[in-house]
């Protein structure tokens, strides 16, 4: 049974609670988007027992699930905020008819410019691509924060053990679960790309002026 604290973030620092957007940026400084997508797919396959997690250390999945939970908690906080003026909202810079979804600067960091297609947010609709903050209300309509915490714990157990959903009594729509996690990853990655950059080990918050010169940021790190 959920406890009162399950309805609020428990894994974020005070500064991260004050600025949850930084959590999205930190997550994608630690993980590559392609790795995140592969790990989610492998995890869901292990839950459904179409594949086994034996090919990788269980500790890797446990750690990944902890970092993902932090991202979900940050997303819950972001969903409570007014994001209409955030830079990830492309309507602040472009008329909608002029937004080219194939423009890699809109979804890929400069350091990855040689292979941008790996970072294209395939799970998002055009509206979500233009305004990735649209993902969060749907994400938390699908499951509340406390439900996400509980189900992440359950599917972690199922993936790492010989149990199946029938044995545990859990009924999990694995495809829907994967869809929403993919959307969360893609949306948060767009926020990281469009609103932050790393230069000489420092986090820089972008402004509309700096995005116009993004191609010059040769020192950016990811």
Q: What is the band of 170 on the pLDDT scale with cuts at 50, 70, 90?
A: low
Confidence of residue 218 (pLDDT cuts 50, 70, 90): very low
pLDDT average, residue stretch 156-173: 74
**Secondary structure letter of residue 191 according to DSSP:** H
Greatest C-alpha distance within the chain: 56
Name which of 115, 90, 63, 134 is nearest 222 in CA terms.
115
Question: Residue 184, SS3?
Answer: helix
The predicted structure's pLDDT at residue 60? 92
Model confidence, pTM = 0.86
Average pLDDT, the chain: 86
What average pLDDT does the segment 94-111 reach?
A: 89
Tell me how far CA of residue 156 lies from CA of 58, 100, 103, in angstroms: 10, 38, 37
What confidence tier does 149 reach under pLDDT thresholds 50, 70, 90?
Answer: very high
**Do residues 53 and 163 make contact, with C-beta atoms less than 8 angstroms apart?**
no
Residues 16 and 19: their CA atoms lie apart, in Å, by 5
- Rounded Cα gap, residues 11 and 63, in angstroms: 13
């Amino acid at each position: 049974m959920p406890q009162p604290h399950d309805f609020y973030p428990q894994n974020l620092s005070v500064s991260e609670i004050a600025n949850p957007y930084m959590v999205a940026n930190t997550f994608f400084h630690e993980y590559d988007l392609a790795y995140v997508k592969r790990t989610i797919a492998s995890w869901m396959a292990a839950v459904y027992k179409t594949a086994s997690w034996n090919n990788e250390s269980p500790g890797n999945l446990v750690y990944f699930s902890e970092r993902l939970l932090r991202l979900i908690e940050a997303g819950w906080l972001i969903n409570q905020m007014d994001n209409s003026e955030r830079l990830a909202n492309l309507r602040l810079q472009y008329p909608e008819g002029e937004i080219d979804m194939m423009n890699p600067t809109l979804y890929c960091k400069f350091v990855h410019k040689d292979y941008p297609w790996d970072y294209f947010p395939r799970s998002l609709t055009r509206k979500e691509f233009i305004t990735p903050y649209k993902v969060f209300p749907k994400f938390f309509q699908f499951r509340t924060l406390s439900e996400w915490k509980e189900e992440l714990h359950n599917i972690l157990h199922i993936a790492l053990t010989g149990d199946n959903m029938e044995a545990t009594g859990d009924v999990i729509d694995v495809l829907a679960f994967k869809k929403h996690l993919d959307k969360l990853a893609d949306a948060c990655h767009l926020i990281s790309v469009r609103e932050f950059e790393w230069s000489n080990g420092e986090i820089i918050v972008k402004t509309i002026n700096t995005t116009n010169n993004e191609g010059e940021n040769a020192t950016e790190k990811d």
